[in-house]
Structures are given as C-alpha cells and as structure tokens.
Amino acid sequence: MTKLQLDGDISAVVLEQAETGSVHFNWIAQKALAGMTPPAVFQRLPASPDIPAGPSLMPEHGSGFHGIAQIEAHCTATQRRVRLGRPVLEDKGSSLCVTARDAALGIEVATAFSFSGDALVVNTTLTHTGNSPIDIRRAASALLPAPDWAAEIITHSGAWGREGHEERRKWDTGRIEQLGRGGRPGFDGGPTLSLTEPAGCEIRGRWLTLHLAWSGPFTLAAERATDGSAQILAERRFAPGEIRLNPGASMALPEAMLALSGTGRNQMRTTLNTALRKTGRTLVRPVHFNTWEARYFEVDEASCIALAKDAAALGAERFVLDDGWFKGRRNDQTSLGDWTVDTAQFPNGLGPLIDAVKTACMEFGLWLEPEMVSPDSDLYRAHPDWVLGWPDAPLATGRNQLVLDLALPEVCDHLFTSIAALLDTYEIGYLKWDCNRDLYPATRDGVERPGAQTEALYSLLDRLRAAYPVEIESCASGGGRIDAGIARRTDRFWASDATDAIDRLRIQRAAGLIMPQERLGCHVGPSPNPMTGRQLPMSFRVLAAFFGHFGIEADPARFSDTERAILKRGIDLYKAHRHWMHAGQLVMASDPADDPDVQIVISDDQSRALVRIMRTDTPKRPLQPRLRLTGLDHDTCYSLVEFALEGEPVEWPLGEYSGLGLMTEGLNLDPGRALTGRLIYLERTG
Ligand code: DGJ
C-alpha cells in the first residue's frame, strides 16, 4: 500500500493506493490529525462488482463504477475508447502526482496536487504520444471524492445587475450542477460551488469550495450515487469536436482551486482570498471616479474636465472615461471596434482632458470593449469575416454587437496594435476592459471552439501587460466574468452594474468568497439609484463601498454640500486605512440573510480591525442580540472608536475590550434604524 501526504498551512491531503490500484483521496482539515486516518478500504457491497469500484482518483468506466469518469475520449481512427490503467503515485516534494495511461492508445492523464497556503491547487495535463488522433469528449480538471459530511450545496445565481444570490440546496442522491455555457462565467455565479454540513454558517461547520480558474464554458458538479458515495467535479466544457489531440500533442486543463474549512465559511474565504492575492499584483488602490453613471454616453471634453475637477476636489485619484468617447459612439448601437477618439466630442483628442486629469493629480483610465464589434462600424465594414457566426444564418447580435473571432491571429494583432496606439499616444495608466455579451454562436464555418476564444483573450491580455505597465479592470456588464483565470491577467473587477448600496452588500459578499475585496470595485452611485430607484443616504452608500476598491460613479455637481462633506470624509478615512485593509482579511459576522449585515476587516497581524454594521431594514425587535465579533486574536486587548461620517465629533470612544470578550460576550449596541451604517475601529492597546 502506497501512502503519501502533502501538508498545507492548516490542512493535509493523504493519498493511499489500495492493492486493487484504486487511489483514495483524503483531505483532513487539521493536518495534525492526518496520521490518525485509518487505512482506506473500499467495501464490497451486495449486488455490486466483485472488485469494489468506489470513487477513486482517475476513476474509469467499465469496471462497474458508474459515477463520473476522469476522461471520456476515443481514438478517432478506430473508435476505441480511452481506458486508463492503474494509476501511479509520486511524491515530488512540493506536489503529489497521480498519473494514469492508456498504454494501447498512448495517452496519459497526470494530475498534480499542490498547496498555495492552504488552498489546494489541482493541475491536470493530457499528453498524447500514440499514433492516432484522440477525440476528447470531456476531461476533468479536478475530480475528487466528496467528503461524507457534505449535505448541502451552495451556489450563487443572478442576472444582469442582480448578481450574488445565494442558492442553498439539500444534497441527497443525484447530481447538482453549476454550468456556464455562455462563453464567459456569467452573472449566475461563475465556476464556484461549495459544500457544507447542515449547520454550516460563516463561523461554524465544515465547508469545501471548488473553483475553476477558467473564463470560458465550464461544468462544476456534485454527484452522489445510490450507494452513498459521492464526487465533485470541475472541468472546462468542450463543444462537440472541439478537442482532438494529435500525436505528440499535450494539453493543460484549467487549474482548479479548492479550500477546506472545519471552522466555518470565513476560514475558507481567507484561504481562497490569500491564494488569489498571490496570483495578482500588490497595488495601492486609488479612489476611482468613473463617468458612466454620471454621463452615460454623453461625454465630451468640457463636461469631462468639469467632472474631473469635481472628482479631484472630493479626493478621487483616478479618472476613468467610460463608454462613449470613440468615433461615432452616441449610444450602444454603433462604433465598437473603431478605437479612435471621436473628434466631434473631443475635437482636440483626449490630450486636454488628460492634462486636466493630471493637473488635478489623478491618473487617467479608459474604457474599451476590444472583443466586440458593432455591425455599424468601420472595422466591421472592412472585415465582416472577422466575426463569429454561422455562414448561412443571420448574425446573432446582443446589445447590438457581434463577437470578434479572437482565435484568428490577425484579429488579435489588430486589437493589440489599436490598443497600443492609444497607450503610445496618451498617458493611460488603466483600462476598463468590458465584455457586454455572451459568446453565441461560438462557431466559424460551423466548427464550435468557445475555448479557443478564451485562450486567445488570455494571450492578448498577457501580451498587453508584458508590453505596457497598464492596470486592467475586468468587467462583463458588471460581474459576468469573475474567476481566477482572468484574475491572473487583470487587477480589478467591476462586480456589478448595480450601484444600489443594499444590493451591493450582497453582491460584494458573494464575489468576495473567491476574490479579495481590494480587487472588487465598489462605487458610490447616484440617489435615487438609476437601477432600483432606491434613495439611500450618502453615509450608507459610502460605508457600503468602504471595504472594496472605492470609487465614485455619479455627477458630484448633483450632490448637496452635506453629501459632499460625508463623501469626502469617507474618502479620507479610506485613504488612511487602505494600506492595512487591503492586506488584511475580510470576515463575516453575519450570515447572508441577516440584518444587520456585519463584516469585519482584520489586519494581517490582528492589531487592528474595522467593523462595519449595515442595517437595511427596521429591526424586528427593539432589543437586539449583542453583536459578537469574529476572527480577532483572543488575547489582544483592543480600544474601540466609532468613526462617524456626519456631524461632530467625528470619532468617539466605545471602550477597551479583549478579543475573546468581543467574540464571546459581544458588544451591546443600540439596534440602529433602517438604512444606517456604523464603522467601529479596533486597535491593539499596549
Ligand atoms: C457595462 C459596464 O458594466 C458599465 O459599467 C459600463 O461600462 C457600460 N457597460 C458601458 O457600455
């Protein structure tokens, strides 16, 4: 019996190979307990195969196992299906590898497990050294036995402007899937799926989250067989005929990332956020001003210069010129693809605006939607053959636009050159990279290759970032493309087009399960809110944006003097605390359905924290339970000060308490009125 162990910061993975060749996978939440796991045995069940075929790593069909197989593929010439042989285990020091081959066909599947902090990273590669091409119908990036305690599945659902609704379902027998067929992860949750036990909440219970680092079509699934055994799966979805491995070819499947917690969802969030931080750049997050909800398409030199001055006076540090600045673009019906400045609205180019932005000590950022083209554009008129579509069907537009076929090298070269021309001409430190429709149809000449589009997008982003020191925001009509794949080549996400502060609490919380908060743009929008019509006080709007990458997305000229003063005070506080907030960890002290919503950012060394309490509705009872904090150091004594955004004094002391006391006894605060927020600052004393 081979037994290998790999340790993360907190947990450990143990792989054991039985005499039959099956590989047991055990992930233990406390690595100190790894030695206590009993040797794995597959039980022989009545009316079942004589050689037990429970879920193992590299599972195969054809031996009585009817769950999910590692790979479904066949040899194109002979129709012979791929059949993996006995897996081989290897300890490679920082990773454990499991490899299985079909010796007759010459294809090998290799999965490497490693840890990034305490996140389990799974990389699977297919290598073909045989003589005939092999058609791959599907192949798992990560396919693991699910833990026996998993009784509920949590995914998220949503639509445009409504991202981040938690879907919690009882999981008994059968399969639950989270699918993405739209060519971008989508508003409905993206490639993430969590498992928990029935009482699992933010601060208690066992949890496991699975995420696929991939921005194209995906399948995430959890499947429990009638014998009680269960598997979890993450994989890139292949279209029919999309993947044919020729002799000598190899293919890396998208990376999967997992977190396990024995102490509530917060710990899992910390593990995933920490791993994601390591794949991104560490940046100071300047206060944004974005023109979209201030002007929509009505941007011109004079109005933008006025906005820039107003924004700078409030403390903005980066001015992002959103949609509407390029040739002929007055609405969403034209001009995508023509990435030159509109001379009617900006007769002197962008130079005067950028000068004004720089004079106001801000950086300049620009909106683009490079993957798209409007039928009414010079680009489309010159290259109608550059778009995806069926040769014999009407073009399927979405938001009046078509998708460029990025897999054509000339398309990406053209896009690189057009963007480079802007970056060479103007001082642009930031690009907001939008993508306002799904990929349909993802075909050229009837051949469907959605994955090639994602791969080409990744290469284009990599090429740009290698050539220019520009920061990039990933936006897809808001939160339509938030995943760890695109996170490696971008710096910020626009989590939703909903700037309504109440909706945003939910949306940021959901996206923040994977993404660290400093990468999630969160802006103070207008009131009434353009999407929901809701009127919310400025202080509430400021606090709702406070833990994310802060910004303003409204015309400051429409704010009252009081609102401006509140916003400015909020921005000053954000600037004073972002250096530690953005390296710290966000934990939840309330569950998603609770009111108030209570979230805490705790610094890396636990010497300080900010507690944000957002009351969205009138409390049901005048006497509320005490507010118990979480994530603090037990033995540290903290002084508590409340920051107020309005009125004087702006700070007042609430006393000194131990971390343990704050987490067990809690704070006795008044219940608060609807639509009010509080921000309490904790700092280690002595
Ligand atoms: C969708 C984005 O999410 C918005 O912020 C804005 O950039 C519009 N597109 C512009 O068309």
- Residue 292 alpha carbon, nearest atom of ligand 1: 6
Q: Which position has the token pair 């099956």?
A: 22
pLDDT of residue 47: 87
pLDDT of residue 53: 76
DSSP 486-551: HHTT-SEEE-BS---HHHHHHHHHHHTTTS-GGGEEEEE--SS-TTT-----HHHHHHHHTTSEEE
pLDDT of residue 428: 98
Asked if the structure places residue 523 within a domain, the reply is no
Q: 190, 213, 248: which is the final residue of a domain?
A: 248
Q: What average pLDDT does the segment 252-257 reach?
A: 98
Domain span at residue 35 reads 2-248
Say whether pLDDT at 25 is over 90.
Answer: yes
Determine whether 343 is exposed, middle or buried from the number of CB atoms within 10 Å of its CB (0-12, 13-18, 19+): exposed
Q: What average pLDDT does the segment 188-201 reach?
A: 96
Asked if the structure places residue 149 within a domain, the reply is yes
**Residue 434 in contact with ligand 1 by CB distance below 6 A:** yes
Give tens-digit pLDDT for 476-487. 999 999 999 999
- Which two structure tokens, joined as six digits, stand for 11? 């947990």
Ligand 1 pocket test, pick from 160, 367, 553 with the greatest ligand atom count within 8 Å of Cβ, gives: 367
Q: What average pLDDT does the segment 417-427 reach?
A: 98
- Residue 475 alpha carbon, nearest atom of ligand 1: 3
pLDDT of residue 653: 82
Q: Compute the distance from residue 261 Cα to the ligand 1 centre, in Å.
A: 36
pLDDT of residue 624: 87
Q: Compute the distance from residue 404 Cα to the ligand 1 centre, in Å.
A: 19
pLDDT of residue 210: 98
Asked if the structure places residue 411 within a domain, the reply is no
CATH number of the domain bearing residue 639: 2.60.40.1180
Asked if the structure places residue 87 within a domain, the reply is yes
pLDDT of residue 649: 58
Q: Compute the distance from residue 369 Cα to the ligand 1 centre, in Å.
A: 9
pLDDT of residue 288: 98
What pLDDT band is residue 44 in, cutting at 50, 70 and 90?
A: confident
Q: 187, 220, 248: which is the final residue of a domain?
A: 248
Domain count, the chain: 2
pLDDT of residue 2: 87
Question: For residue 225, how many other CB atoms are within 10 A of its CB?
Answer: 17
State the amino acid at position 660 in one-letter form: L
**Residue 475 in contact with ligand 1 by CB distance below 6 A:** yes
CATH number of the domain bearing residue 30: 2.70.98.60
Q: What average pLDDT does the segment 597-602 reach?
A: 98
pLDDT of residue 59: 95
**Residue 494 in contact with ligand 1 by CB distance below 6 A:** yes
Q: Which segments of 80-215 does DSSP mark as H helices, in order?
A: none
Q: 217, 248, 279: which is the final residue of a domain?
A: 248
H, E, C per residue of 128-160: ECCCCCEEEEEECCEEEECCCCCCEEEEEECCC
Asked if the structure places residue 287 within a domain, the reply is no
Asked if the structure places residue 223 within a domain, the reply is yes
For residues 156 and 501, give the distance between their C-alpha atoms in angstroms, rounded to a whole number: 19
Asked if the structure places residue 576 within a domain, the reply is no
State the amino acid at position 83 in one-letter form: R
pLDDT of residue 652: 73
> What are the residue numbers of the active site?
434, 497
**Residue 553 in contact with ligand 1 by CB distance below 6 A:** no
- Residue 367 alpha carbon, nearest atom of ligand 1: 7
pLDDT of residue 183: 96
Say whether pLDDT at 54 is over 90.
Answer: no
| Closest C-alpha to ligand 1, atom 6 | 292
* Of the candidate ranges 53-57, 159-163, 205-209, 270-274, the one whose mean pLDDT is the lowest: 53-57
Say whether pLDDT at 94 is over 90.
Answer: yes
Of 515, 468, 522, 517, the C-alpha closest to 498 is: 522
Bigger pLDDT: 34 vs 427: 427
Say whether pLDDT at 55 is over 80.
Answer: no
Q: What average pLDDT does the segment 59-68 reach?
A: 93
For residues 140 and 58, give the distance between their C-alpha atoms in angstroms, rounded to a whole number: 9
| Closest C-alpha to ligand 1, atom 9 | 477
For residues 538 and 677, give the distance between their C-alpha atoms in angstroms, rounded to a whole number: 10
Ligand 1 pocket test, pick from 477, 520, 549 with the greatest ligand atom count within 8 Å of Cβ, gives: 477
Ligand 1 pocket test, pick from 436, 473, 474, 529 with the greatest ligand atom count within 8 Å of Cβ, gives: 436
Give tens-digit pLDDT for 131-189. 999 999 999 999 999 999 999 999 999 999 999 999 999 999 999 999 999 999 999 99
Q: Is the dihedral of CA 71, 73, 75, 81 positive or negative?
A: positive
Give tens-digit pLDDT for 621-660. 888 899 999 999 999 999 999 999 987 656 778 899 999 9
Give tens-digit pLDDT for 199-239. 999 999 999 999 999 999 999 999 999 989 999 999 999 99
- Quick one: angle between helices 450-467 and 409-425, nearest 10? 30
Q: Judge contact between 235 and 122, C-beta under 8 A.
A: no
Q: Compute the distance from residue 291 Cα to the ligand 1 centre, in Å.
A: 10
Q: Judge contact between 501 and 509, C-beta under 8 A.
A: no
Residues, the chain: 686
What pLDDT band is residue 45 in, cutting at 50, 70 and 90?
A: confident
**Residue 477 in contact with ligand 1 by CB distance below 6 A:** yes
Q: Judge contact between 483 and 214, C-beta under 8 A.
A: yes
Q: Judge contact between 629 and 589, C-beta under 8 A.
A: yes
Asked if the structure places residue 159 within a domain, the reply is yes
Q: What average pLDDT does the segment 446-456 reach?
A: 97
